[in-house]
Amino acid sequence: MADVAERAGVSASTVSRTLRGYASVSAEVRERVERAARELNFAISRQAASLVTGKTGVVAVLVPILKSWFVGSALEGLGLVLRAAGLELVVYYVPDMVERADFFERLPARRNADALLVFSFDLTEEESARLDDLQMPVIYVSQHAEGRPSVYVDDVAGGRGGTRHLLNLGHRRIAFLRAIGVSGFTFSSNERLTGYRQALTDAGVPLDDELVVGAVLGEDRTVVQAVGQLLSLRHPPTAIFVEQDELAVAVLWTLRKSGFDVPERLSVLGFDDHDIARWVGLSTIAQSPTEIGRAAGELARALIETPDADRERHIVLPTHLIPRATTAPLTPPPPAPESGQETPPAGPGAWAD
């Protein structure tokens, strides 16, 4: 910076003022300084600046996973807002419990960021408490944190809306397929199930626990098994509401492989509006992780400027139905359903319990 000052024939203070965009710099001087800075390829050192301002110009995020559509999209939304605000994004990738314990032990974000966004973790109260004395705004993303700022989607409404859609199509036996073991997402999962139950109850359709099954994303066998379980019920469902698009695609795949036409024989509804949903024509409840990221970023910006305001602000984002090709009105049952054998279950593993 001294170099720039010299080249422009001014003092360092003036260079600083110019580069920070203060109005109190004469046009002529500003011009000279800016040229000098450009010619010398000068960029302010955040480190030095933050030492005196007390602001780091950094927003940190804590994420359990990065290769996920949800987290990736949210980070994209966040990234846009942050750059517009001149903030940098540092990522703490904390995939397992060991790393996590270490993170909460050391809290590396302390003093090295102006705000922390916690993504999709199911934090213990103890961990949250630890974050509370971090001396910076902490925002909970994709989860509702009591008494703390958070940004999330109205999963209950989404679950309800999706279920209603199926009810409106005439379905009464509606299954719900949960995604098991997606660490950090149990909050959403429970909420969606709650919405499903609410909608059924509101419609006077009795809840049936046999219709709620689970599968592990990425473990084909569990999907086949879950689907098989449903198809072999005394009163099998005519529609399946799958908690997550990626899992819904696995379900579609399983059904189609065994000759079950979707949506003719069975409607399938997903949740997320993952990119893949569009490719395979999956009807789904859309949420916008990009929007979540953006909202979280804006909340962060606000809290950095006004630390005390909005301490408990919750931003709840909407979902909406995107009907595509996998949900259809309930068709009357096939002509002669006399023989119990007429609906063979789906492929290998279908009879597994």
Partner DNA sequence: CTGAAAGCGCTAACAG
Partner DNA sequence: CTGTTAGCGCTTTCAG
Q: Per-residue contact track with a copy of itself, 185 to 224, x per CB under 8 A?
A: ---------------------------------x-x----
Rank residues 107 and 180 by Cβ distance to a copy of itself and give the closer one: 107
90 binds, among a copy of itself, DNA, none (CB under 5 to 8 A by kind): a copy of itself
Q: Are strands 267-272 and 88-93 parallel, antiparallel or unpaired?
A: unpaired
CA distance 321 to 337: 33
The radius of gyration computed from the CA coordinates of the chain, to the nearest angstrom, equals 26
Q: What is the DSSP letter of 232?
A: T
Residues 242-261 that bind a copy of itself (CB under 8 A): 246, 249-250, 253, 256
Residue type, 10: V
Backbone angles phi, psi at 306, to 5 degrees: -130, 80
CA distance 137 to 109: 11
Rank residues 124 and 135 by Cβ distance to DNA and give the closer one: 135
Residue from the set 79, 195, 237, 263 that interacts with a copy of itself by CB under 8 A? 79
278 binds, among DNA, a copy of itself, none (CB under 5 to 8 A by kind): a copy of itself
Query: Quick one: which of 47, 50, 17 has its CA closest to 32?
Result: 17
Give percent helix, percent strand, percent coil of the chain, each to the nearest 5. 45, 15, 40
Cα–Cα distances in Å, from 189 out to 192, 245, 271? 5, 13, 11
If binding is defined by CB under 8 A, does position 46 make contact with a copy of itself? yes
Rank residues 86 and 206 by Cβ distance to a copy of itself and give the closer one: 86
108 binds, among DNA, a copy of itself, none (CB under 5 to 8 A by kind): a copy of itself
If binding is defined by CB under 7 A, does position 17 make contact with DNA? yes
Number of shown-chain residues binding DNA (CB under 7 A): 28
Q: Given the rule CB under 8 A, which of 12-20, 102-110, 147-155, 227-235 is the region that contacts a copy of itself?
A: 102-110
CB-CB neighbours of 236 under 10 Å: 17
Q: What is the DSSP letter of 318?
A: -
Place of tokens 């449903």: 230
60, 109 contact by CB (below 8 A): yes
Instruction: Kindly list the residues in this chain that would bind a copy of itself in the complex (CB under 8 A).
Output: 41, 43-48, 50-51, 56, 58, 65-69, 71-73, 75-76, 79-80, 83, 88-93, 95, 99, 106-108, 110-112, 133, 218, 220, 246, 249-250, 253, 256, 275-276, 278-281
Contact positions toward DNA, by CB under 7 A?
Answer: 1-2, 9-17, 19-20, 23-26, 28-30, 44-45, 48-49, 51-53, 111
